[in-house]
Structure formats: C-alpha cells, structure tokens
Amino acid sequence: MIVIAIILICILLYIQGTKNFKYWEKKGIQYCKPTPFFGNSLRKYLRKISPTDQLAEIYRNFPGQKCVGCFESNHRSLVLRDPQLIKHVLVTDFLNFYPKGMNIHETEPLMNNLFSADGDLWKVLRQNMSVAFTTGKLKSMFPVLLDQAKSLDEVVLKCSENDQEIDVRDLMARYTTDAIAACGFGVDANSLNDETSIFRKLGKRIFNVNLRDYLVFMLKFLATDTFKYLNFFAPEVEKKIYGIVNSVKEARNGKPIGRKDFMDILLEMHNKKTIIGESLTKRDENGVPEKCEIVLNSELLTAQAFILFGAGYETSAASISFVLNQLAYNKEIQEKCQKEIDTVLEKHGKICYEAISEMKYLEMVFKEGLRMFPPIGFLIRKCAREYTFPDTNLTIDKGVVVLIPLQAMQNDEKYFEEPDKFIPERFHPDNAREMKQFSFLPFGAGPRACIGQRFGILGSLTGLATILSKYTVVPSMNSRRKLMTDPTIALVQNIKGGIPLKFVKREVTC
C-alpha cells in the first residue's frame, strides 16, 4: 500500500508540474520544450545561465518568429521578438499588461515598491513620486552629486599615480552608492574609501545572490502558493534597509528638513498619512478615473527607499563600467569624448549641470553602452485579462507572463548594423530618427518606463566626464575586450571577474 501511495503521489505531482506544458502547442505557437517541474529554467536554477542570457538564447533559436512560448517552472511565458508587439504591450494596450507580477501574493513588504508593485498601489506611488525627478530637483541635487564625483577623482588619482590596476565595476558601484546615499538619503556613505560602509555592504548583499536566495526563488516558482510566505530578500537585507531609513527619520525628527532630496519627499508623503491619485482600473460612468487613496505607513515608505537605492546604484554602476571598458579599447572614440569635454569645460570653467547637458557626444557614447549591455537585460509584464495581439491569431490568457529580451534585440543586426561594434554615432539625432521604434529600450517605455532615468543618466555622465577630463582609461594586464556575464546574478547584469582597467593622467586638462 505504501508503494502504491508513493506512486500515486508521484503521478499527481507530475501531473501538477506539467499541467500547462501543452499550452503553446494548442495555441499553434513555437515554443521551447520544457523539463518536468522546471520548465525551461533548470539551467537558471542551477546558476549555469543568467535570465538575460537565457532569453537571448531563446531569441536567437527562433529566427523569423514574432514570439516564442516558454515556461518558468510550470508558469506560461511568452517571449516577444517583434517591436510592434512590444509596442502594444508597453504602450498601446498598457491596461492589459500593467502588472509586472513580481510580488505575486503581496506578502513581502519590500516588494511593494514602485518597481514591482502593481495596480492602484503602483499608479498612486508613481504619480506622487514623480516630483522627485523633475529638472528643478535634478539641478538642486547636482552640487551634492558633484561632491561624490570629486571623491571619485581622488581615488582615480591615487590609482593613476601608483600605476595601479583597478576593477572599475567595483569602483563605479562605490561611486554610485555614495551618489544615491547623498542625493537620496542625505547621508555621507563614504563607500569610495570604506568597503565596510553600511550602504556598500547592503548593496553587495542585495545583488550578490547566494544559495539561499536561489532556493527561495526556485521554490516560489515551483510551488507558488505553498511557499508564498517565503521572502525573496533575506532577513539581513530587510534589517539593514529598515535600520538606514529609521536612522534618517530620527535624524530629521520624522519631518522634511528642506534638503528636497528623496527622503524629504517620502517623509512629506508619510506625514500626510495617505497619498491620493487616480485609479488605474476603476472609472466612473463618464470614463473618468476614480480617486484612489493609499495609506503610506512605515513599511511602504521603506520599500520606496529600498528600490531607490537598489535600482539606482547598481544599474548605473554596470553602465558606466561597461562604457569605460569600451573606451579603453576604442582610443579614437575616447579621444573624441575628451575633446568635447575639454571644449565644454573651457566654456563653463568647471563641471556643472549645464556643462553635462551640453556633452552630446558623451551621451551618445553612454547610450551605445546601454545598447550593447543594458544593465537590466529584459522587461517583464503580466497579462491582466484575456488579450488578442492585433494582426495575429494569438490570444493569451490572464496570468501569462510576457518577456521582452532587450539584450538580444539591441544586439540584433536586423535593427543595428554590426551590433558587436561600439559605434556611438548610431545615436546622433540624424541617425536616431531612423532607428526602429521599440528596438532600443534600456529604460523601458510607456507608463512604466524607469522613473529615475534622467537621474541615472546625469549621475553616469558626471562620473564619466570627471574621469575623462583628467585621465585616459587604458587596458591593464588582466583586462578583457570581450566580457562574460556572471550567471549567478538574477536581475542587474554583472561581469564575471570584474572589469580591471588602468587610468593614465592626461598631460593637458581643463
């Protein structure tokens, strides 16, 4: 009897673990053949391939298809390969795809942030937090940002004087950590000089995904309801971010202090107890969105501070370091950057907000880096209701996850000629107009496009301009032109072995 019971249990588990595997076949859509229980994600769970590289592989394996079916464990996913379909998902038919579906049961407090929240919570947060990223706010933050760039300059100077190789991926992570801590929290993190800084330790723990994190990720997808109370983020991450936010609140007596930084804005919202905005899905009889009210308690406030820090520092660090590596191997492009920087600084006398805004070629260089290596290599959306893609026979059901493989598309010769080459001129205004719409989306598009895009670009360009105005970046003994992504990283892409480079002080500087 025991043997029969075990056999029956195994059969039931197998049926449960493969119940959706005929979904794409019935839809007439080409799909990746799944493995029982794991779907197409076994190598990802074993940390053999990153999510971005997995999607790029699927993209390459199905040329000519507008979309491809796959499975995250037993969950149905659709990989989009066509810019027009992507436009429908992100913009035209956004109300059918507004969820990201990352906080499935809404049981994890830190996941109720602007990046991963859904529905009215996301909409009201977005409406109220957008004031943090206006042009006026960015200009007022710039002197603080410039102070961090000056600290970066001091570290680079020491490396240059000592003819020292340095991992610029780590260096830029410390710079962007300090920038976010100062501009967002009003705190001098000093990560550039102190690896034990609480902000630096928190940042490293968030993105250095260990075995515990991978097991939780896997279990939540293998048995979503059973493990719904398991938190993605480890207890030490929660403890540290709550500690940071509480210490800032105490230092400001729980009130805005006139810095107009991110914490001031959050505290102002928090003291109102509730925040009000337009509902995403509820409308009155005239089609006007209803008013929606969200209680902003301490947990919700901390979740927003968490995503500002986590999403802000790591994505910028990945972008800057990749660009520096490209410049080290593309001498003519680096010289052209430096010539523009010298000209602009001669006009303004120093690095300032207006000077950074005039460095158009530097911005083109930065965008080309984002094209080749977007920090977040894919976008994710979840179908909110049954939906039929226009001009296709494909109808998908509520709950199907839609994946947009940015890395693969932005390195497809169909959209970018000689995609393996670093060619900033692609983003010259005359050329950018000819670019296929929705083929370049490092910050997303539509209502859920990255809210901190302008701040991220400003901080990155400031760091690059600070370095290139005084130094030339060159390959070191351990440098590699072709970089390999780290398969153990889940979301923001990282480079296996870091990005070692050297800085040589320029003979003529402004």
Query: Would you list the DSSP string of 426-478?
Result: GGSHHHHTTSPTTS--TT--GGGS-TTHHHHHHHHHHHHHHHHTTEEEEE-TT
Confidence of residue 366 (pLDDT cuts 50, 70, 90): very high
* pLDDT higher than 50, residue 223: yes
Identify whether the C-beta of residue 434 lies closer than 8 Å to the C-beta of residue 419: no
pLDDT digits (tens, 9 = 90+) for 287-302: 788 898 888 889 999 9
Give the pair of three-digit tokens for residue 482.
């072709």
Confidence of residue 391 (pLDDT cuts 50, 70, 90): confident
Identify whether the C-beta of residue 410 lies closer than 8 Å to the C-beta of residue 371: yes
Identify whether the C-beta of residue 93 lies closer than 8 Å to the C-beta of residue 387: yes
Give the pair of three-digit tokens for residue 435.
């670019």
Over residues 53-63, mean pLDDT: 96
Q: Among candidates 459, 460, 464, which has minimal Cα distance to 142?
A: 459
pLDDT of residue 13: 54
Buried b (16+ CB within 10 A) or exposed e, 458-467: bbbbbbbbbb
Better-scored residue on pLDDT, 258 or 123: 123
Largest CA distance in the chain: 87
Q: Could you count the other beta carbons within 10 Å of the beta carbon of residue 356?
A: 25
Give the pair of three-digit tokens for residue 180.
């976010």
Report CA dihedral (162, 165, 168, 172) to the nearest 10 degrees.
-20
Kindly list the domain boundaries of the chain, sorted by start residue: 2-505
Identify whether the C-beta of residue 374 lies closer than 8 Å to the C-beta of residue 49: no
Length of the chain: 510
Cα torsion angle, 267, 269, 274, 279, sign: negative
pLDDT digits (tens, 9 = 90+) for 158-204: 999 999 999 999 999 999 999 999 998 988 999 999 888 888 888 88
Between 145-149, 309-313, 322-326, 410-414, the lowest mean confidence (pLDDT) is in 309-313
CA-to-CA distance for 307 and 312, rounded, in angstroms? 7
Q: What is the pTM of this model?
A: 0.93
pLDDT digits (tens, 9 = 90+) for 90-102: 999 999 999 998 8
CA-to-CA distance for 187 and 248, rounded, in angstroms? 8
Better-scored residue on pLDDT, 14 or 69: 69
Annotated binding site for heme: 450
Q: Which residues neighbour 378 within 8 Å (Cβ) at sequence distance 6 or greater?
A: 51, 52, 55, 403, 404, 405, 406, 407
pLDDT of residue 380: 96
Q: Which residues neighbour 356 within 8 Å (Cβ) at sequence distance 6 or greater?
A: 458, 461, 462, 465
Q: Among candidates 320, 45, 304, which has minimal Cα distance to 184?
A: 304
Over residues 371-376, mean pLDDT: 96
pLDDT of residue 208: 78
CA angle 83, 117, 293 (to 5 degrees): 120
pLDDT digits (tens, 9 = 90+) for 35-49: 988 889 889 888 899
> What DSSP string runs through 59-113?
HHHSTT-SEEEEEETTEEEEEE--HHHHHIIIIITGGGS-----STTS--GGGSS
Identify whether the C-beta of residue 175 lies closer than 8 Å to the C-beta of residue 317: yes
- The Cα-based distances of 143 to 157, 324, 345, 460, 501 in angstroms read 21, 24, 16, 15, 28
CA-to-CA distance for 322 and 489, rounded, in angstroms? 16
CA-to-CA distance for 14 and 369, rounded, in angstroms? 44
CA-to-CA distance for 406 and 439, rounded, in angstroms? 8
pLDDT of residue 19: 73
CA angle 278, 281, 284 (to 5 degrees): 75
Annotated binding site: 450
CA-to-CA distance for 447 and 453, rounded, in angstroms? 13
> What percent of the chain is predicted at pLDDT more than 90?
62
CA-to-CA distance for 397 and 387, rounded, in angstroms? 7
CA-to-CA distance for 496 and 266, rounded, in angstroms? 36
Identify whether the C-beta of residue 505 lies closer than 8 Å to the C-beta of residue 477: no
Confidence of residue 509 (pLDDT cuts 50, 70, 90): very low
CATH for 2-505, among 3.30.210.10, 3.40.718.10, 3.20.20.210, 1.10.630.10? 1.10.630.10
pLDDT digits (tens, 9 = 90+) for 456-504: 999 999 999 999 999 999 999 999 999 999 988 767 898 999 999 999 9
CA-to-CA distance for 369 and 257, rounded, in angstroms? 38
Q: Which residues neighbour 264 within 8 Å (Cβ) at sequence distance 6 or greater?
A: 186, 252, 256, 257, 258
Burial class (CB in 10 A: 0-12, 13-18, 19+), 258: exposed
pLDDT of residue 15: 54
